Amino acid sequence: MEEDLDARKINSTFLRDHSYATEADIISTVEFNPTGELLATGDKGGRVVIFQREQESKNQPHRRGEYNVYSTFQSHEPEFDYLKSLEIEEKINKIRWIPQQNAAYFLLSTNDKTVKLWKVSERDKRPEGYNLKDEDGRLRDPSTITTLRVPILRPMDLMVEATPRRVFSNAHTYHINSISVNSDYETYMSADDLRINLWNLEITNRSFNIVDIKPANMEELTEVITAAEFHPHHCNTFVYSSSKGTIRLCDMRSSALCDKHAKFFEEPEDPSNRSFFSEIISSISDVKFSHSGKYIMTRDYLTVKVWDLNMENRPVETYQVHDYLRSKLCSLYENDCIFDKFECVWNGSDSVIMTGSYNNFFRMFDRNTKRDVTLEASRENSKPRAILKPRKVCVGGKRRKDEISVDSLDFSKKILHTAWHPSENIITVAATNNLYIFQDKVN
Amino acid sequence: MLPCSSDARPVTDTMFARGIKRKCFDGEDEIEGTLAGFKAIPSYNLQRQSLLDMSLVKLQLCHMLVEPNLCRSVLIANTVRQIQEEMTQDGTWQIINAQSTGQTSLDRLVSTDILCRSSKEQGEGKFISGYSNFNTDFEEIQTQDISELSTVTSVQTSRNMQNLWEMGNSQDNKGNFQKSLDQIFETLENKNPNSVEDLFSDVDTSYYDLDTVLTGMMGNTKMGHCEVLESFSSQATTNSSSNCKTELNEIDHIVEILVES
């Protein structure tokens, strides 16, 4: 009994701390590196936290590859644009890893305006015994040097350093929503509401504008770019999505400025579902190529769609994420939730897709079996090695046990950012200021 | 029943979960049959109107930001365009504007009332009572205020008319509307860096803090925005009781009063 009481006490303090988490702690992006060994998160406070998967140990088979904090650094600081008299938030909008080419790791992080290239490297040895410097690094008086010695490397505690290698600034007037590293590993693009720029990873003072949809007269503006991504294998091809629910595929070989798309993906509107909110809910919040490069996945407010690159007039698959919200669009418009930008991800083999919803729910769709599941990222089921129970939202009047009614969904708890390990069934889900990592059942 | 469908047939099952008894706003059968006619489908028009009002308030809030979320602003502006187009087509644009002269206050109160209540009902039950309290309080205050403020508001309106609406012909509301949209888009592009400071230089920031307004709108998903909207509409009502010419003018007034008071 006494133990119970104590446990409750601890829990309540824990919860209180949780609710006092500041705005800066809210996770704004998550991304695995190409091997899945590292997982990076960015938050509203401009910090990047990198987790590393620990090596499997034979003694403790149940501790299979847990992720521990590897490095934390401040990627972006709040800035002030004196020309426009405006504050630039430090919030990390996106992180993208550069495929590893040597012992160090490289990643790109971006806020609304500036992209930075970070090098994350380990150091576990330090050189000792320089001839011209003493142990503190000060130059020695040459007259005191009487003998020459060979410097040696001595082991020391492992240190992980993050150093900014390049800062790509002053190229975006609007807010950057996407960055994407090209498959040539030499270039990347950054997309804002109206333009997409192409950069060389080595060159910071010059970028090429490859898409510009800004009308000469801003009064005529009716459409914005919402996301963009390079093809995983063809370095000349990229796609971008728009607020009107369309996707354009562009070929950079055709012209320097890709104003004319090579392909245009659009689904005709279903007249039976037409409403004042049709356009808002069809606005695409995320676009992702499959690993194979054969498909594109898009997320709009209520659905996830999979498009075949060879079929432009309609998606090959459409999955309902939370269709029960269709009747609540008016209040979701009123409280601005309708503008939430949910992301979507593929699993390693492109057979399952995952995306977020409200009430800390997230959804998975198996493309082969057509089965889907709703899971919840919550403190109760986040005890180590607990098994996630599928959740169900009931639409009708009768609510069965374990079901949750649409009316009691918490719209302030939303899962916007998720990531899937590139080859294994390990997923990560960002719920406000908590990061959950789930994996396939061991054994 | 919501202003969700843009054809004149309202989606009947929306908003209320199946199995829950629906409240009857108006004769639904009537609505099913008749198309367009303003008198025949008052609730649809009312809700469409409140959606329009809400969108315009949202746009004005975007307008006040130095760098608004462009995607959101564009989507809201497109929604406003769409409603305007539909209203122009079925003729309600003129009727509403003709009616709005003089007696807008009550209409407006009702429209936001419906909108907020319907969204609250599916939100939290406990908030409804709080809301209705607020509403009755507000009515009491309103009756006092109108008498007290009548002189002030009339001075304000006459000044506003000169300043803001001298371009706008009272009969050509569409032009006026277009103008306000255009202004919004203009500011999307060319921000006057001082605009926000100017706007709020005389305002008691403890109450009219832009951050508070906006975080209420963005952050608190359950109830914050409704209160914000309500406070705006209360501003609107005190204002519109003194012969404000159009709906759209009112929205601008709201902001201006926010700024000037």
Task: Report d(CA A412, CA B124) in Å as an integer.
Answer: 13
CB-CB under 8 Å, B48 with A336: no
CA distances in angstroms from A373 to A96, A280, A356, A392, listed in the order given: 28, 26, 12, 9
Instruction: Answer yes or no: is B205 within a domain.
Output: no
CA distances B94 to A24, B100, B149, B239, Å, are: 48, 10, 30, 21
Task: Name the closest residue on chain B to residue A336, using Cα atoms.
Answer: B218
Average pLDDT taken over every residue of chain B: 50
Q: How far apart are the first and last CA of chain B?
A: 37
Residue A232 is assigned to a structural domain of this protein:
yes
Please judge whether B226 and A334 are an interchain contact, meaning their C-beta atoms are less than 8 angstroms apart: yes
Strand partners, A212: A195
In a domain, B218, yes or no: no
- The confidence score (pLDDT) of residue B159 equals 38
User: A22 touching B, CB under 8 A?
Assistant: no
Phi, psi for B130 (deg, rounded to 5): -60, -40
| pLDDT tens for each residue of B39-56 | 445 688 888 899 999 999
pLDDT above 80 for B209: no
B198 has pLDDT over 70:
no
Per-residue confidence at B213, pLDDT binned at 50, 70, 90?
very low
Q: Whole domain around residue B72: which residue ranges?
A: 43-110
Highest mean pLDDT, choosing among A46-55, B107-116, B175-184, B233-242: A46-55
Could you tell me the end-to-end alpha-carbon distance of chain A, in angstroms, rounded to an integer?
Answer: 35
Are residues B4 and A329, on separate chains, in Cβ contact within 8 Å?
A: yes
Q: How many CB atoms lie within 10 A of CB A30?
A: 24
> pLDDT-based confidence at A60, cuts 50/70/90?
low
pLDDT number for residue A127: 86
Which residues on neighbouring strands pair with residue A387, listed in sequence order? none
Q: Is residue B53 part of a domain?
A: yes
Residue B21 lies in a domain: no
CB of A392 closer than 8 Å to CB of A375: no
In the prediction, which pLDDT does A378 show? 86
Q: What is the mean predicted confidence (pLDDT) over A412-419?
A: 96
Q: Residue B75 is nearest to which of A84, A279, A397, comparing CB atoms?
A: A279
List the domain range (segments joined by +) for residue A297: 78-114+165-422+434-439
- Give the closest residue to A177 by CA, choosing from B216, B72, B185, B217: B72
For testing the chain A interface, which of B58, B66, B67 should be mutated: the one with the most A CBs within 10 Å? B67
Taking one residue from A and the other from B, the number of pairs with CB-CB distance under 8 angstroms is 142
Q: Check if the beta carbon of residue A267 is closer than 8 Å to that of residue A300.
A: no
Q: How far is CA A88 from CA A85, A91, A240, A427, in A?
A: 10, 9, 25, 31
Token reading at B153: 């508001």
Give the DSSP H/E element, type plus range, for residue A119.
strand A115-128
pLDDT (tens digit per residue) in B229-241:
433 333 333 333 3
Asked if pLDDT for residue A6 goes beyond 70, the answer is no
Show the tokens assigned to A282: 């069809």
Higher pLDDT: A243 or B203? It is A243
Return the higher-pLDDT residue of A34 and B63. Answer: A34
Answer with the residue of higher pLDDT: B180 or B87: B87
Is residue A184, in this structure, part of any structural domain at all? yes
CATH number of the domain within which A382 lies: 2.40.128.630
Cross-chain Cβ contact A276/B51 below 8 Å: yes
Sheet containing A361-366: order of strands: A344-346, A352-356, A361-366, A372-376
Determine the average pLDDT of the residues in B124-138.
Answer: 36
Contact: B18, A219; criterion CB under 8 Å: no
Query: Nearest CB to A396: which of B15, B17, B79?
Result: B17
Contact (Cβ atoms closer than 8 angstroms) between residue B146 and residue B241 = yes
- Residue B62 pLDDT grade (very low, low, confident, very high; cuts 50, 70, 90): confident
Asked if the interface predicted TM-score (ipTM) of this complex is over 0.85, the answer is yes
Which token pair is B21? 């008894």
**Is residue B102 in some structural domain?**
yes
Non-local CB neighbours of A169 within 8 Å, separated by 6+ positions: A113, A114, A115, A204
Chain B contact present for A224, CB below 8 A: yes
Query: If you average pLDDT over every residue of chain A, what do you get?
Result: 90
| A82 interfaces chain B, CB cutoff of 8 Å | no
Task: State the DSSP code for B7.
Answer: S
Q: Kindly state the average pLDDT of the residues A401-422.
A: 93
Residue A226 contacts B, CB cutoff 8 Å: yes
- Whole-number Cα distances in Å, A21 to A72, A73, A74, B89: 18, 19, 18, 50
Greater confidence (A440 vs A291) lies with A291
What residues in A contact B77, CB-CB < 8 Å?
A: 222
Q: Which pLDDT belongs to residue A388?
A: 85
B4, A330: Cβ pair inside 8 Å?
yes
Look at chain A and report how many structural domains it folds into: 1
> What is the share, in percent, of chain B residues with pLDDT greater than 90?
11
- Coil/strand/helix, residue B98: helix
A35 part of a folded domain: no
A428, part of any domain: no
CB atoms within 10 A of CB A39: 24
Task: Assess if residue B70 is contained within a domain.
Answer: yes
Note whether A397 contacts B17, CB cutoff 8 Å.
yes
Q: Are A335 and B222 in contact (CB under 8 A)?
A: yes
Q: Is pTM, for the whole model, over 0.90? A: no
Question: Is A159:A168 a contact under the CB 8 Å cutoff?
Answer: no
pLDDT: is A392 or B144 the higher one? A392
Q: Is residue A377 part of a domain?
A: yes
Query: Which chain B residues are closer than 8 Å to A213 by Cβ?
Result: none
Whether the per-residue pLDDT at A11 is higher than 70: the answer is no
- Give A160 to chain B, closest Cα distance, Å: 36
Q: Is the pLDDT of residue A30 over 70?
A: yes
- Of B82, B88, B78, B33, the C-alpha closest to B58 is B78
> Residue range B125-131: average pLDDT?
34
Q: Which residue of A has its CA nearest to B66?
A: A86
B30 pLDDT more than 90: no
Out of A22-36, A120-134, A303-317, least confident range? A120-134
According to DSSP, the residues that pair with A247 across neighbouring strands are A241, A265
Q: Does residue A288 carry a pLDDT above 70?
A: yes
Answer whether residue B59 is part of any domain: yes
- Suggest the residue from B1, B4, B199 to mutate for an interface test with chain A (most A CBs closer than 10 A): B4
pLDDT at A440: 83
User: Percent of chain B having pLDDT more than 70?
Assistant: 19
Higher pLDDT residue, B145 or A201?
Answer: A201
Q: Looking at the predicted structure, is the pLDDT value of residue B74 above 90? A: yes
Residues 6+ apart with CB under 8 A from A134: A140
Per-residue pLDDT band for A400 (boundaries 50, 70, 90) equals confident
Q: CB distance from A194 to chain B under 8 Å?
A: yes
Establish if B160 belongs to a structural domain.
Answer: no
Does residue A179 lie in a domain region? yes
Looking only at the bridges linking them, the beta strands covering A247-251 and A263-265 are: antiparallel
Q: In this model, does residue B146 exceed pLDDT 70?
A: no
Nearest-angstrom CA–CA distance, A218 and B187: 9
- Nearest-angstrom CA–CA distance, A350 and A339: 27
Nearest to A224 among B18, B71, B218 (CB): B71
Q: Please tell me the distance in Å from A428's CA to the nearest CA on chain B.
A: 24
Nearest to A110 by CA among A191, A196, A50: A191
Dig out the tokens for B47 from the structure.
Answer: 């809700």
The average pLDDT across A26-30 equals: 97
Domain count, chain B: 1
